[in-house]
Amino acid sequence: MPIGKVGVIGSLVWDEIHGRDPAAGPVEEWGGIAYAMAGLDAALGDGWELIPLVKVGRDLAGRAEDFLRGLDRVPRSARFLEVPTPNNRVVLRYLSAERRCERMAGGVPGWTWGELGPLVRDLDAIYLNFISGFELSLGTAAALRSGFRGPIYADLHSLLLGMNGDGIRTLQPLPEAASWYRCFDYVQVNEDEMAQLSPDPLGLATGMLAEGVRGVVVTLGPRGAVYVERGDDALGLVKTELIRGESVDAVDPTGCGDVFGATTFARLLRGDPLAEAVRAGNRSAARNATYRGATGLAQHLRGSLVIR
């Protein structure tokens, strides 16, 4: 019997990746929430199940189910929700090992609370990754926080990305940011997103804690991650620490932030303090960087040999 169920909200994306390997042409494969699902599948403790709360376009629904069946912690009865629209597709062009240009197309709609509410009733935790940025409106996120009492880990990511008419994603301000923070127990952003939110990162993180967030994590690419949380002393002072990343011979940085967040949350659910959870997240992100794609990634993160 499962001891807990983690719901995963995000967008499954079909990636077309350019420039990852200058000697090769573009590569097409699953991306988006697929990386986080692989990370959770590998890192969750014994007895935990993974429940997808993910909409998939009809054009790629069959291939999406094939990916889902490759995850060990997903119950056989679980399915993606097929919708009669084109699935989200993203073209990624790497400008350097850490910088890329992203263009998105597709029409997968977000969740309403009327749709989502009945699906979260028997869950114990929720991992939410804004892959498209349109997964939830603020109203739906607030209803989720009000109607769900388990922990919610949110990678804000594409909430901070606008989309031009040609689909190119660019950083943009987050309206009603404080209202968004109140919806989550743990918030993850990368350093560019943190800078977009405020020129004072520590002040912003402290403000998030004041809104009820339990922990803030800022990813720094290969350098690791910084976390901020309330101290456990009587004064409740803010505790912050840089957890350095691990050095590896990286072949692909795609999905490292997603695997990091998924692993960090999985370790929190296992009872690890935030510092140890972030260390585990760094290890998994580094291991992800030595592998290409999300198919078979869960086995690779576990240390198994993957034949493709």
Sorting pLDDT into bands at 50, 70 and 90, what band is 20?
low
Judge whether 280 and 267 are in contact, CB under 8 Å: yes
In the chain, count of helices (H) and strands (E)?
Answer: 10, 16
Q: End-to-end alpha-carbon separation of the chain, Å? A: 32
Whether 63 maps to a domain, the answer reads yes
Higher pLDDT, 81 or 305: 81
Quick one: tokens of 189?
A: 């952003």
Provide the whole-model pTM: 0.94
Q: Give residues with Cβ within 8 angstroms of 77, minimum separation 6.
A: none
Whether 93 maps to a domain, the answer reads yes
Give CA–CA dist 172/175, Å, rounded: 9
Whether 81 maps to a domain, the answer reads yes
Q: Which of 11-25, 119-133, 151-165, 254-268 has the lowest mean pLDDT?
A: 11-25
Helices (H), the chain: 33-43, 61-68, 113-116, 138-147, 177-181, 191-197, 201-210, 256-269, 274-288, 297-302
Q: Give residues with Cβ within 8 angstroms of 294, minimum separation 6.
A: 29, 30, 31, 34, 35, 37, 38, 67, 255
Q: Residues 117-156: pLDDT tens digits? A: 999 999 999 999 999 999 999 999 999 999 999 999 999 9
For the cut 90, the answer to whether the pLDDT of residue 24 exceeds it is no
Judge whether 219 and 205 are in contact, CB under 8 Å: no
Per the structure, the complete domain to which residue 123 belongs is given by 4-187+254-302
The CATH number of the domain holding residue 271 is 3.40.1190.20
Sorting pLDDT into bands at 50, 70 and 90, what band is 307?
low
**Closest to 290 measured CA to CA, from 244, 247, 243:** 247
Whether 202 maps to a domain, the answer reads no
Q: How many domains does the chain have?
A: 1
What is the reported pLDDT for 100? 77
What is the reported pLDDT for 162? 87
Q: Residues 174-213: pLDDT tens digits? A: 999 999 999 999 999 999 999 999 999 999 999 999 999 9
Whether 43 maps to a domain, the answer reads yes
Average pLDDT of span 29-47? 96
Judge whether 90 and 102 are in contact, CB under 8 Å: yes
For the cut 60, the answer to whether the pLDDT of residue 1 exceeds it is no
Higher pLDDT, 3 or 165: 3
Whether 182 maps to a domain, the answer reads yes
The amino acid at 207: G
Whether 228 maps to a domain, the answer reads no
What is the reported pLDDT for 102? 84
Whether 194 maps to a domain, the answer reads no
